[in-house]
Structure 1
Amino acid sequence: MNAIHPSAVVGPEVTMGTGNVIGPFAVLVGRVELGDHNWIGSGVTIGAPPEVRGWDHPTSWDSVDGGGVQIGHRNVLREGCQIHQGWKAVTKLGDDGFIMNQVYVAHDCRLGSHVTMASGARLAGHVVVQDRANLGMGALVHQRRVIGAGVMVGMGSVVTRDVPPLALVMGNPSRISRSNRYQAERIGLSAEDCDRLDAAYRSDLSGVVAVELLASTAGASSLVEEWVSARG
């Protein structure tokens, strides 16, 4: 039902569905819930304790305290990536994610579905990455930031502010450059709406105008609602 390499470590608190592939020297410990048909590459670590100073680190890998990790279905986690247990809540990854090698997902992060994180991208604690966002190679995200749905973060960018839906950001610190038209088209926005959104992001780099436009655009208003809700 699941293909687990003999060298992998799967702790007694780990539960999983069917069709999962667990690669050589992967480590899954603590309260990890794994769905169906996930592909876990070699050297991946899921469920290690949150990296919090003063945390009572375990003396046995049979029981690792923390908020746990929940991973959905059909995700690909490539070599050496790390997903840590929650500290205040559960660290979550949705469905159909593509998490490339050496990616770091810290405690209490919440990733939506169809998220792509390129090699070496890193999320500090409590970050929210919403559906279909794409983080380029080596991108860094400050703790407690919210990356909206359909956002593209450029290679090597450092995100220190929340990023509204369907924006393209780049730089250190990152700034809005334009819209992510590719994802805007994928969610079904018309060519006219895509043009208006791109113009809004280009004319007002704070993103305020674009967010107001999205909130009044059929097929995109829910993205704004979810982004605002995640920001608290």
Structure 2
Amino acid sequence: MSTAAVHPSAIVEPGARLGDGVRVGAFSYIGNDVEIGDGTDIGPHCSIHGPARIGRDNRILGHAAIGGEPQDKKYGGERVELVIGDRNTIREFVTVNRGTAGGGGCTRIGDDNWLLAYTHVAHDCVVGNHCVFSNNATLAGHVEVGDHVILSGFAGIHQFCRIGAHAFIGMGAFVNGDVPPFVMVAQEGYGRPRGINSEGLKRRGFDADRIAAIKRAYRALYVAGGSLDEARARLVELAGDSDDVRALLEFIDAGERPLLR
């Protein structure tokens, strides 16, 4: 039998499944077909709608709205879901929507992420691990975010864009193209690349040689002034000596939207 602790004012539908040590705060609602892993803490006035699978040891604070229907006019009530991993912190008034049938049917958030107050993750997004979304950061539908990405406050990501691992999106930047791994983007109308996230890379244990290789790749892509094809040819050369440059090149080659340049 589950050892979940549910406040008397909370509503947990019969079809919900709560793991051991789950706590549900006052006036929260847990819907049918919601599964919440061991040790997860749900604050007051939260709503979690299914189908949704939420892992263990997450913290979901007051007034978060998790697993709501996708904000898509094409949605017709079909079964779509949300999957959230372990040890995430989801702060006040965060909204996360389920997927759509046309987008794969699932919104996914990995492990060890921080979603600060008023952030929004739309339908069919895929978010990696160890990301930080600052207050009011917003993902439109079908966005893919790699590991260790930081979105500063009020950043907005256009639908179908990809944000590569270790990228940093500055405050208020609006991103309407793919951002390669390791790149910093700053506000200037729509966001524009402004170097690499070297400080973040240092904090994650990247040594000087790795960072220098990434800087050379950035210069080839954004500073040299040639075409994208010319930049790509130079990246192919640099990738022979660097796994990080190889990952950046693979990111570029896999894209369907234009690269942010």
Q: How high is the TM-score relative to the length of structure 2?
A: 0.78
Aligned residue runs from structure 1 range 22-171, under 5 A: 22-56=42-76, 65-87=78-100, 88-89=103-104, 90-171=106-187
Q: Tell whether the 8 Å contact from 1:38 to 1:73 is kept in structure 2 after alignment.
A: yes
The farther-off stretch of 186-195 and 45-54 is 186-195
Q: CA deviation at 1:27?
A: 0.4
Q: For residues 30-80 of structure 1, what are the alpha-carbon distances to aligned partners after superposition, in whole Å with 9 as ceiling and x for unaligned?
A: 2110000000010101111110114336xxxxxxx5421000000000000
Shift of residue 216 of structure 1? 3.7
The aligned residue for residue 19 of structure 1 is 39
Question: Matched residue of 1:15: which SS?
Answer: strand
- Say yes or no: does 1:220 pair with 2:244: yes
Q: Secondary structure at the match of 2:215?
A: helix
1:139 and 1:10 map into 2 onto residues whose CA distance is 30
* 1:159–1:173 CA contact under 8 A, matched in 2: yes
Whole-Å separation in 1 of the counterparts to 2:95 and 2:222: 33
Q: Per-residue CA shift, 1:114-146, capped at 9, x if unaligned?
A: 011000000000000000000000000000000
- 1:4 paired with 2:24, answer yes
Larger of the two Rg values belongs to structure: 2
Which residue identity lines up with residue 81 of structure 1 in the other structure? V
Pick one of 255, 258, 261 that aligns with 1:231. 255
Give 2:211's aligned amino acid: C
How do 1:196-211 residues align onto structure 2 when only pairs under 5 Å count?
Answer: 196-202=213-219, 204-205=221-222, 208=231
Classify the secondary structure of the residue corresponding to 1:150. coil
Contact kept? 1:14, 1:28, Cα under 8 Å: yes
Distance 1:161 1:217, change over 3 A: farther
Is contact 1:128–1:230 with CA below 8 Å preserved after alignment?
no
Separation in 2, partners of 1:21, 1:226 = 38
User: Which residue does the alignment assign to 1:180?
Assistant: 197
Question: Which has the larger displacement, 164-173 or 149-158?
Answer: 164-173
Instruction: Name the SS of the counterpart of 2:130 in structure 1.
Output: coil
Q: 2:179 corresponds to which letter in structure 1?
A: V
Label 1:224 to 1:96 Cα distance change in 2 as closer, same or farther (>3 A).
Answer: same
CA RMSD for the aligned pairs? 2.4
5+ residue gaps in structure 1? 58-64
What is the deviation of 1:194? 1.4
Question: Which whole-Å CA distance do the structure 1 matches of 2:174 and 2:235 have between them?
Answer: 21
Identity %: 30
Structure 1 counterpart of 2:206, from 168, 189, 195:
189
Mind listing any 5+ residue stretches in structure 2 that lack a counterpart? 1-20, 257-261
- Structure 1 residue 11: deviation in Å? 0.5
List per-residue Cα deviations over 1:125-177 (Å, max 9, x = no partner): 00000000000000000000000000000000000110000000112211111
Q: Taking structure 1 as the reference length, what is the TM-score of the superposition?
A: 0.87
Number of matched pairs: 225
Note the C-alpha offset of 1:196.
Answer: 4.0
